[in-house]
Structure formats: structure tokens, C-alpha cells
Amino acid sequence: MFAHRIKNLPPYLFARIDEMKAKKRSEGVDVIDLGVGDPDLPTPSHIVDALVEAAKNPDNHHYPSYLGMPAYREAVASWYKNRFGVEVNPENEVISLMGSKDGVAHIPEVLVSPGDYVLVPSPGYPVYSTGTLFAEGRVHEMPLTGENGFLPDLDAIPKNVANQARLMWINYPNNPTSSIAPPSFYQEVVEYAREHEIVVVSDNAYSEISFDGYRAPSFLETDGAGEVGIEMHSLSKTYNMTGWRIGMAVGNPDIIRGLGIVKTNIDSGVFNPVQYAAAAALTGPQDCVADACRIYQERRDVLVGGLRRLGFDITAPKATFYVWLRVPDSMTFAAKMLDEAGIVVTPGIGFGRAGEGYVRFAITRSVDRIREAISRMEEVSW
């Protein structure tokens, strides 16, 4: 019944974990879910207020603009200028997205013809691959390994693949490894993209969640980046707005135009009150972001400290709300965590073959729940 596009999709491991979690809960287990990358913190109230106000105005009840309303695109441009020192023209270098997932899933439609390669980090956000498969492209995995600081080794990409590649994904701060990229890596990516005529898309969804004074850059700060690529961003993680579905793509005007063409034929934009609220988030006070980072940092310290006491060798991440732990076998470890400690973690294999040998903890639960998770783990023999 289904088209080959759907039939060829890899099995969605996360659905299986959800089933296992639901089963445990039905058995009465108080499950601690460190699996989901969805902030438990609320959206700051000044953002909610802006939504409510805008929702009361009937002018905002119509179809929104396809590309995002000027007030939102201007807010995005001013945020890029203030935060990264990057100048983008709100008229043709910014487009609204229904969350960055919208852009991630649809950009292959713009760039990839059947049989073209897409260079995808492994482990990585699964939609890089599924979007490629929907466009009938071929996925070439770029392994992110501890030995390489979880950066892809561009020299290891075979020449024939590079020559047929249309698109390269980069994602720092990284989900799921929580690693960060030095500016020199971005420079290397720009040179590689120029040489092989590949479009680079930087997924920067986690740039604002960082610790110990680290501030993540934008790929677009790199010399020449605006010629070869774009960046996707989202309000989901920065302002605890995962349910609101709003993000942006920014950068090279030709690529942004292409994305606009595809999206105009697929969706009808983001509800205007959500765009007004997002503009209020981007242009308003930013202490809510610093407050959230302080909360995540405390949780990170409790989790990393606890794991070290348990004998695990773990580096404290500088960014994202994930902790990437080396384990012998990711499915066995995750199953044992659920069965013996009632804790959900995500097996690395779910993020691609090179994710095997790790599990991901999401610190999207309170510090008390993380302490409880550690004390439960203390009762299990590892």
C-alpha cells in the first residue's frame, strides 16, 4: 500500500522505546524519562503574553505570509546581528519555519535530485537522513567519533561521493554528542564546500544552551559561509517553545528563495500571533535564556558528577542539554536502565550506526529527579 519512499525508511527506534516506557508505567513504575529532548521549563511569560495579545486581534486570524511576516523576519535579522554580529537582509535572507524540523525535512527537496548524495553526520538528528530519502537522495554518513572530537573527517569522504554530493549537514552544538566545533572547523567546511560545490546547512538549534562561559558561534560568522550555505535555527530550545513550532532559515538568498518555493507549495506559514510572540522573544530581555542555562548547568553537574562516582568516564559537555555516555552496547544498556532502574535514556544506535557504543541522557528533568536517577543507578551493578 505504501510508496517505496516510506517502505525504505529505517525503523524508528524511538517509537519502540516509547512502547517500552508505556509498558513500565502501566506496571506502576515511576519512570524517570531522560530520553526526550524537550525542555521541561515553561515558555517565559512575556512571550506567552505577546501571543495572547496578538491572538485577540482578528486581523491575525487569516492565512499568514508564506515566508514570514516582516516584523518576524526583522526580529530574526536583528537577533543575528546582536548575537553573532552577522548581517542578514530580512527581505531575502530570512524565512520563517514551522520549527527547524520543517526546514531540515524540506531543504533536500530544493537541492537534491534522485541519486544525489547528502553528507549526514552519524550519529545525528534522524530527519537529515529521512528528508534525504524522501527526496530520493542517497545518504553518506560522516562518522562522528570520540577520536575526532565528534567532528566529521572531511578527507575521509570518498572523492566520487563528494563529487555527487549536493548538501552537507553540520550541527554544532551537536545533538546527540553535545560536542562543539572550533571556528577552524567551519573554515574547513567552507573551503570543502567551495571545492566540491556543495551547499552547507548548519543546524544551530542548540546555540543558546551553553555552559561555563562558552558561547557557540554561528556558521555564518565564517568568511565565505554566506556564499555556500544557510543556517537553520529555532526558538524551541532557546525559549522553551518546542510546542509552538517556530524557527528560521537564514543566509544565502538563492537557497532561501528555493526553500520558499518548496514551502509555498506545502504549507501556509506560521500563525501570525506565534510570529509576534517569537519576535518578542528575539528582541526582548534575554535573561530567561541565561536563567535556563544556569538550571541546565546545575543538572549537568549533578548528572556528570554522579556518573563519575559510579565509575563512568565522562567529559562534562559545554553545550546542549544532552550528556553522551560511552557504554559497551547501547540497546543493552538502555534496556537495563529501564528494567532495573526505571530510567529512560536513548540508545546511540537510534541516531545512526556511529552512535553505537553510547547512550544519550537528556537533562530535561529537575535536579531532584536527576539525583533520584543517580541513586537508582547506584543500586544496579554496572
Ligand X SMILES: Cc1ncc(COP(=O)(O)O)c(C=O)c1O
What's the min distance (Å) between Cβ of 262 and ligand X? 16
Question: CA dihedral in degrees (64, 106, 244, 61; nearest 10)?
Answer: 10
Q: Are residues 205 and 233 in contact, defined by beta-carbon separation less than 8 angstroms?
A: yes
Q: Does 203 bind ligand X (CB under 6 A)?
A: yes
Instruction: Identify residue 51 by its one-letter amino acid code.
Output: L
Q: Which of 171, 202, 210, 218 binds ligand X (CB under 6 A)?
A: 171
What's the min distance (Å) between Cβ of 126 and ligand X? 9
Task: Give me the 98-117 binding string for ligand X, x by CB under 6 A, dash otherwise.
Answer: -xxx--x-------------
Give 21 or 360: the residue with its C-beta nearer to ligand X: 360
What's the min distance (Å) between Cβ of 171 and ligand X? 5
* Alpha helices by DSSP H, 112-203: 127-134, 159-164, 183-196
Which residues, 6+ apart, have CB-to-CB distance to 216 below 8 Å? 172, 173, 180, 204, 206, 207, 208, 210, 319
Q: What is the DSSP letter of 319?
A: B
Distance, in Å, from the CA atom of 240 to the CA atom of 243, rounded to the nearest integer, reads: 8
Distance, in Å, from the CA atom of 18 to the CA atom of 201, rounded to the nearest integer, reads: 30
Pairing of strands 346-347, 343-344: unpaired
What's the min distance (Å) between Cβ of 246 and ligand X? 8
Q: Which of 236, 240, 252, 330 binds ligand X (CB under 6 A)?
A: 236
Give residues 250-289 in contact with ligand X (rule: CB under 6 A): none
Q: Does 175 bind ligand X (CB under 6 A)?
A: yes
Give residues 27-66 in contact with ligand X (rule: CB under 6 A): 37
DSSP per-residue string spanning 221-240: GSTTHHHHEEEEEESTTTTT
Q: Is 188 exposed, middle or buried (0-12, 13-18, 19+ CB in 10 A)?
A: middle
What's the min distance (Å) between Cβ of 106 and ligand X? 12
How many residues bind ligand X (CB under 6 A)? The answer is 14
Give 37 or 251: the residue with its C-beta nearer to ligand X: 37
Of 42-50, 234-242, 289-297, 369-377, which segment contacts ligand X by CB under 6 A? 234-242
What's the min distance (Å) between Cβ of 163 and ligand X? 27
Q: Does 130 bind ligand X (CB under 6 A)?
A: no
What's the min distance (Å) between Cβ of 40 and ligand X? 14
Instruction: Identify residue 361 by its one-letter amino acid code.
Output: F
Instruction: Identify residue 271 by its one-letter amino acid code.
Output: F
Of 80-88, 97-105, 184-192, 215-223, which segment contacts ligand X by CB under 6 A? 97-105
List interacting residues with ligand X (CB under 6 A).
37, 99-101, 104, 125, 171, 175, 203, 205, 234, 236, 242, 247
